[in-house]
């Protein structure tokens, strides 16, 4: 799809990857309905792109907020791209999370994307060509200790993307699943950052992730995975999971040590 032809509903737009997506979409000539709980740095973008960027305050866990997003999308004359980029992450062992934290993670990472996509499908089907983009994670393909709940949400999002793509195969709507690796954002917890440094994990800038996602949009891909050797690990985990089991078991002492001091939540 050509970016200047895109009218986009973008969730998680006030920071990290979402904010970069908003900026790059506007710079390319797209019109964007930016959805987030708080305005944040979007205020600066709205000053730069007053004709292209509109903000809709919403807590996507709430049905009324999703209705508000849908109404705003209709007022723009319809949309042809939905980008589900809202998400949170918590680096913690499963028994370190309480019930409220688990519910919040699944509600934002998974249920909000399913519910908003379902609500937007009639608008998307009305377009000659349309696209749903679900921003997942490498951890949607590799179960990683310290991220069991996060992996659950992203594995499910990947499965949803694959099934929905097949479900809509005879419609104008395609589905793109984008899987970044670790991304440098202000929301990363100190513990997660320290673990990445200790393990020498590659970390991408949000602008690079956004650029890769939009390249995939323009080239009409169905999946995009970012980072090396993460792409290799995804393939290995699919073919030889026992090998990955043994490799990750060696990292458990480090993971347990850093998860004991999780700090603030992280998102990517």
What is the distance between the alpha carbons of residues 22 and 11, in angstroms, rounded to a whole number?
10
- Tell me the three state secondary structure of residue 131: strand
pLDDT, position 262? 57
Torsion angle defined by CA atoms of residues 40, 153, 181 and 147, in that order, rounded to the nearest 10 degrees: 100
> Domains along the chain?
3-259 (3.40.50.720)
Three-state SS at 173: strand
Q: Which positions are annotated as active-site residues?
A: 150
Mark out the alpha helices in 107-144 (DSSP H runs).
Answer: 112-125
CA 72 from chain centre, in angstroms, equals: 21
pLDDT of residue 191: 85
**What is the C-alpha separation between 86 and 113, in angstroms, rounded?**
8
Pair 83, 11: CB distance under 8 Å: yes
Global confidence as pTM: 0.93
Q: Taking 60 as the threshold, does the pLDDT of residue 136 lie above it? A: yes
pLDDT digits (tens, 9 = 90+) for 6-24: 999 999 999 999 999 999 9
Q: What is the mean pLDDT of the chain?
A: 93
Which residues are bridge partners to 8 per DSSP?
Answer: 32, 81
In the chain, pLDDT over 70 holds for what percent of residues? 96
pLDDT at 266: 40
Q: pLDDT digits over 75-122, tens only?
A: 999 999 999 999 999 899 999 999 999 999 999 999 999 999 999 999
pLDDT at 123 over 80: yes
Instruction: Return the DSSP state at 96.
Output: G
**Nearest Cα residue to 134 out of 102, 104, 159, 107:** 159
- Given a contact cutoff of 8 angstroms between Cβ atoms, the answer to whether 83 and 117 are in contact is no
Cα(61)–Cα(209) distance, rounded to whole angstroms?
Answer: 25
């Amino acid at each position: 799809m050509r970016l200047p032809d895109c009218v986009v509903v973008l969730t998680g737009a006030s920071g990290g990857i979402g904010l970069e997506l908003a900026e790059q979409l506007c710079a390319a000539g797209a019109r964007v309905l930016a959805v987030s709980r708080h305005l944040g740095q979007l205020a600066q973008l709205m000053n730069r792109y007053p004709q292209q960027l509109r903000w809709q305050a919403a807590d996507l866990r709430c049905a009324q907020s999703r209705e508000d997003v849908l109404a705003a999308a209709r007022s723009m004359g319809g949309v042809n791209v939905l980008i589900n980029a809202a998400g949170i992450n918590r680096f913690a062992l499963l028994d370190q999370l309480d019930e409220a934290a688990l519910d919040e993670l699944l509600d934002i990472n998974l249920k909000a994307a399913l519910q908003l996509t379902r609500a937007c499908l009639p608008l998307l089907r009305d377009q000659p060509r349309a696209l749903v983009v679900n921003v997942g994670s490498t951890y949607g393909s590799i179960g990683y200790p310290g991220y069991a709940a996060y992996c659950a949400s992203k594995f499910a999002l990947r499965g949803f993307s694959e099934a929905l793509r097949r479900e809509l195969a005879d419609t104008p709507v395609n589905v793109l699943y984008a899987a970044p690796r670790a991304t440098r954002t202000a929301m990363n917890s100190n513990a997660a950052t320290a673990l990445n440094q200790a393990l020498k994990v590659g970390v991408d800038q949000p602008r690079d992730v956004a650029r890769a996602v939009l390249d995939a949009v323009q080239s009409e891909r169905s999946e995009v995975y970012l980072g090396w050797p993460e792409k290799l690990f995804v393939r290995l985990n699919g073919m030889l999971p026992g090998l990955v089991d043994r490799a990750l078991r060696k990292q458990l002492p480090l993971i347990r040590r850093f998860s004991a001091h999780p700090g603030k939540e992280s998102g990517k």
